[in-house]
């Protein structure tokens, strides 16, 4: 087994379970997981066309439409026509959406910080040192897109 595959085998369950733990312990009745990540994506890359959002979230366009519709009714995002293309729309955060996202992020960060506080300083250092590498790994995944998804879902976030 390659060194990379060994590391992947050790890393994957940790990533997934940490993620689940954070999601499940901070239910955040005010924002579902799909809403939370969609909002974060629009914050980071908006204004976004519906197709771009779907691509970044790795969901189908009808799913993106559905999630955005709901959040538009909640006043968290707004849609406006794309001036350059009559078929397209541009999605962006409202002030309320931005505020809500910050609140949820704060709750979740506090949970993680609470766990970190209970580790040794050397353990915290190791995690801090890995963050740039994990970020680089994520960036590698950003590039190759384009393949439509077919499948059972994810619930993300």
Partner DNA sequence: TATTGTTATACTCTATAACTATA
Partner DNA sequence: TATAGTTATAGAGTATAACAATA
Rounded to whole angstroms, the Cα distance separating 88 from 103 reads 31
40: DSSP letter? H
CA distances from 3 to 7, 12, 145 (A): 6, 14, 26
- Per-residue contact track with DNA, 69 to 88, x per CB under 7 A? xx--------x--x--xxxx
| Residue 151 binds to DNA (criterion: CB under 7 A) | yes
User: What is the distance of C-alpha 48 from the center of its chain?
Assistant: 15
Residues 131-150 that bind DNA (CB under 7 A): 148-150
Rounded to whole angstroms, the Cα distance separating 14 from 110 reads 19
Nearer to DNA, 1 or 29 (CB): 29
129 touches which of its own copies, DNA, none (CB within 5 to 8 A by kind)?
A: its own copies
| Residue 76 binds to its own copies (criterion: CB under 8 A) | no
- List of residues contacting DNA (CB under 7 A): 32-35, 49-52, 57-70, 79, 82, 85-89, 148-156
């Amino acid at each position: 087994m390659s060194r990379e595959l060994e590391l992947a085998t050790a890393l994957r369950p940790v990533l997934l379970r940490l993620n689940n733990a954070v999601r499940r312990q901070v239910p955040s009745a005010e924002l579902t997981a799909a809403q939370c990540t969609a909002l974060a994506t629009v914050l980071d890359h908006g204004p976004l066309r519906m197709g771009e959002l779907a691509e970044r979230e790795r969901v189908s366009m009808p799913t993106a439409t559905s999630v955005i519709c709901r959040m538009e009714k909640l006043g968290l995002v707004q849609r406006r026509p794309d001036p350059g293309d009559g078929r397209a729309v541009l999605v962006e955060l409202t002030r309320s959406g931005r505020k809500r996202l910050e609140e949820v992020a704060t709750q979740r960060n506090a949970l993680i910080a609470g766990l970190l506080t209970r580790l040794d300083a050397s353990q915290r250092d190791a995690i801090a040192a890995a963050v740039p590498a994990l970020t680089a790994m994520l960036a590698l995944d950003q590039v190759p897109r384009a393949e439509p998804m077919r499948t059972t879902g994810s619930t993300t976030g």
